[in-house]
Structure formats: C-alpha cells, structure tokens
Chain A
Amino acid sequence: MANPFEPGYIPPPPSPSGGLTPGIIQALAGTKPWVRFCSVMGFIGSGFMVLGALTMMAGGVFAGASGQQGSAVTFGVNIGGGIVYLLIAGLYIIPSIKLWKFGTAILNLMVSQSGVHLDEAMELQRGFWKFVGIMMLIMLVIWGIMLVIMIGGMAASRAAIPSP
C-alpha cells in the first residue's frame, strides 16, 4: 500500500459499486426471526411425520404378526406407507436445515456487519430456493404422471363396461 504521508499521495477513488448500507442489514435482521420460526416449524413437522411413520410401521408389524386374514396386506401397506412418510419427512428436513443456516448467516452478518456474511446469507438463501424449486418441479411431474394414470384408468374402466 502506498504511504499516504508522502507528498503527492493520491488516495484511491471510491468504489463505484457504492457499497452496502446498514439498512440492508436491518432488513435481513427483520427477516431472521421469521426464517428461524419457519425452520423450527419445519423441524417439528418433520418430527411428527417421523413419529407417524414409525407408528404406522409398528402397526403393520403387529398386524403381520397377528396372522389374521389380510394381515399380510395390512403389513405391506403400513410398511410401504411408513417408508413414504419417512422419505417425505426427509424432504421437509432439508429445506428446514437450509433455512436455519440462512438464519445463522443473518445472525453472523448482524454481529460482523461484514459483506462476506451478507454474501454467505444470500448464497444460503439461493440454495434454499433452488432446493424448493427442484422439489416443486419433481412434484409437478409426479402429479402429471398420476393425472395421466387416473385419466387412463377412468377411460379403461369406461371402455370395459359393456354397452347395453
């Protein structure tokens, strides 16, 4: 760095980007409580889903062990349903973790007031929206396939009904 006390020293020009203002940090500081709240709700929802899944699977195991008629079907349905719920719970936990990390980055930003933490917060937020967006695309594809199967099934059942 040049010595500013030397004669003829010319200070560098100000940054053309204009820098960031504390108002930006305040806006994110106002976001943090709600982000944390949604994240915690996501964790709690995932927890309930896991409990429900385990209860379902336990019910299936008991039904299978009972040996009654149809118990094998009940076992299969309950175990399958439980696995599906566990997968869904996993899908809910991932964005909740991303939101929690976003909230933590905002907290770091509020403490440090550093642009590095602002960049980190924005990246974490981008990661959250990317994950949610990809999940939505997958859900749309699944719904589309289910709709096609449903329409196909209805058309097939109508065709199977003999005409008078």
Chain B
Amino acid sequence: MENPYLTGNHVTDTGALPGETLGEIIGVLARTKPWVTLCAVVGIVAAGFSMIMAIIGGFLAAEAAGSGGVAAIALPVFQCFISTLVGLTYLFISIKLWRYGSGISRLIASGTPGDLLQALDRQRGFWKSAGIMVILGMLLVFLALLLALFTTPVSAEHMSGPH
C-alpha cells in the first residue's frame, strides 16, 4: 500500500513526480509557443536578408574583378563571406527554434509526458546550438583581430615603400 503521508517531493517507484499537474506546464508552454514561433520566423527572414546581401556582395565582387585588382574585390568578397556566414547561422538557429515550437504544438495536442520531454529536449538542442554559435562567433572575432594586428604593420610597411 502506498504511504499517503509522504510529502509531494518524493519520487514514486514509477519515477513520476507527484504533486504537479502536467496541464499547468502545458498551459505555460502553450503561451510560450507564439513568441517562440515569432522569433523563429523573424530569424528565418533575417537569414534570407543576409543571403540576399551575400548575393549582392558576390555580384559586386564579380564586377570589381573585371575593373580593379585584388584590393577592389577584397571588401565585396569579405562582405559576401560574412553575410553568408551570418545567414547560415540565423537559419540553423531559427530551424532549431521552429522545431521547439513544433514540439510544443505536439505536446498541446497529446498532453503526454513523452511529448513534454521531447519539447524540452528540443529546447535544450536550441540553447546548445546558440551557445556553440556564440563560441564560434567569438573565435572568429578573435581571429579577425589577430589578422588585423598582423596585417596592418605589413600593409603599412608595403605602402610606405623602400627607404
């Protein structure tokens, strides 16, 4: 016979946690879903704009390649590269967020702990991806700073010419 005098914090033999209704959690997540979906959509749109900027940069680089030298195409190529990178990052993160929103939709429909677990696991996947993207972004910025530090004296020396 189950001991009815145990507090709500103990874990039953089935591993379930008593004292809390799944419905309340689903209600909170249902109110979360519209905002998550909105952020995912805005992220996908931003990714689209970034890719458009990348294409424009590509065209500008192709145009400059015919008229000027390496210096003329450097900036458009750099812009194309950065815009592509930013666009792909936004797209990747937004897809993860969209999947989280889909997981919440499934949870609202089914109301099962299994779907709650899946939704929370997808949320974990989103935050993990976001964290990894932040780390990669910081590494890129660090590399760019190093590159700027090493190339600036070399280019200055090159521009000043022989003494």
How many A-B residue contacts, CB cutoff 8 Å?
Answer: 124
Q: Which residues of B sit under 8 angstroms from A1, Cβ to Cβ?
A: 4
Chain B contact residues: helix, strand, loop or mixed: helix
Q: Which residues of B sit under 8 angstroms from A123, Cβ to Cβ?
A: 28
Complex: chain B residue closest to A24, CB-CB: B117
Are B4 and A15 neighbours in the complex by a CB distance under 8 Å?
no
- Distance in Å from the Cβ of B36 to the closest Cβ of chain A? 5
Q: Does A84 contact B (CB under 8 A)?
A: no
Q: Tell me the complex Cα distance, A125–B39, Å.
A: 14
Query: Contact string, A127-142, partner B, CB cutoff 8 A, digits 1/0?
Result: 0011011001100100
Contact of B17 among A11, A27, A41, A113 (CB under 8 A): A113
Which of under 10, 10 to 19, 20 to 34, or 35 or more describes the interface residues of B? Answer: 35 or more
* Count of A interface residues, CB-CB < 8 Å: 40
Q: Please report B residues at the A interface, Cβ cutoff 8 Å.
A: 1-2, 4, 8-9, 11-12, 14-25, 28-29, 31-32, 34-36, 38-39, 42, 111-113, 116-117, 120-121, 123-124, 127-128, 130-131, 134
Given contacts A31-B124, A126-B28, 10 further A-B contacts (CB under 8 A): A11-B4, A19-B12, A21-B15, A22-B11, A22-B17, A24-B116, A38-B127, A38-B131, A122-B25, A133-B39
Could you give 10 example pairs across A and B, Cβ below 8 Å?
A15-B21, A20-B113, A22-B15, A23-B117, A37-B134, A114-B19, A122-B25, A125-B123, A133-B36, A136-B38
